[in-house]
Amino acid sequence: MELVRANASDADVLFASRVSTQGEKTLEGALDETVDAARSKGLINYLMRDRHGSPFEHNSMTFYVQAPIFVFREFMRHRMASYNEESGRYRELNPVFYVPGPQRNLIQEGKPGAYNFLPGTDEQMELVQSETRRTSTEAFEAYQRMLDAGVAREVARIVLPLNIYSSMYVTMNARALMNFLSLRTKREGTHFPSFPQREIEMCAEKMEDKFAELMPITHEVFNLNGRVAP
């Protein structure tokens, strides 16, 4: 994951919110990127706390994401972003597949919506890795055989598993990103606990790092208010 383009700062939140009380006077400072942190944190905290969300929409961040297709399925449940993904209809896909590493927990306990995951045994991890590699290799060989026989890419791709990597651009504003982070990260002190799949959480963590760099006050206040998107 990398941030490829951004027009986002805490100043964007401030000038957008102040138009409600200052009207045209805010035009004088609309392009001012400087922020007095001590004075501005209170206003941004008020907006976050009382869920005045629209001032957090006047910005934009575009991320380039490479991840397995099963992760993209979860991304695209968030309909407050714009997506453009590479197409298996128009290009031959690369043989890059996700194989869980030894740090990936394997044992699932609990009920839907409140799972806990625990480490597996060495034997379970060896099984997961070997079977994932075997089936991925077999599937890609079948894909190649069909392409070599002249079968269209959009047909040949149907044998490929969900752990094959794809790539996409994701563009969203800070309000949408905070909503995404509230659901796709697990943090202590969160007002509404979330139980994300680890693979999408890994993407979300990197996106949050960039968000914190671009909009440090907004990110701080997001955490202070229990990571509830306004």
Does the pLDDT value for residue 22 go beyond 90? no
Predicted confidence at residue 131, as pLDDT, reads 98
Q: Report which of 76, 27, 47 is spatially closest to residue 215, judged by C-alpha positions.
A: 47
In this structure, what DSSP letter does residue 97 have?
A: B
Q: What is the pLDDT of residue 15?
A: 85
Half-sphere exposure of 104 (CA within 13 A, CB side): 16
Is 33 a residue whose pLDDT tops 70?
Answer: no
Whole-angstrom distance, CA of residue 110 vs CA of residue 106? 13
Q: Which two tokens stand for residue 219?
A: 């990110």
CATH of 2-61+172-224, picked from 1.20.1430.10, 1.20.1300.10, 3.90.226.10, 3.30.1360.170, is 3.30.1360.170
DSSP annotation of 118 reads E
Amino acid 74: pLDDT: 95
How far, in Å, CA of 125 to CA of 54, rounded?
A: 46
Residue ranges covered by each domain of the chain = 2-61+172-224, 94-163
pLDDT tens readout for residues 48-75: 999 999 999 999 999 999 999 999 999 9
pLDDT digits (tens, 9 = 90+) for 154-180: 999 999 999 999 999 999 999 999 999
> Pairing mode, if any, of strands 2-7 and 107-109?
unpaired
Just list the catalytic residues: 184
Output the pLDDT for position 28.
61
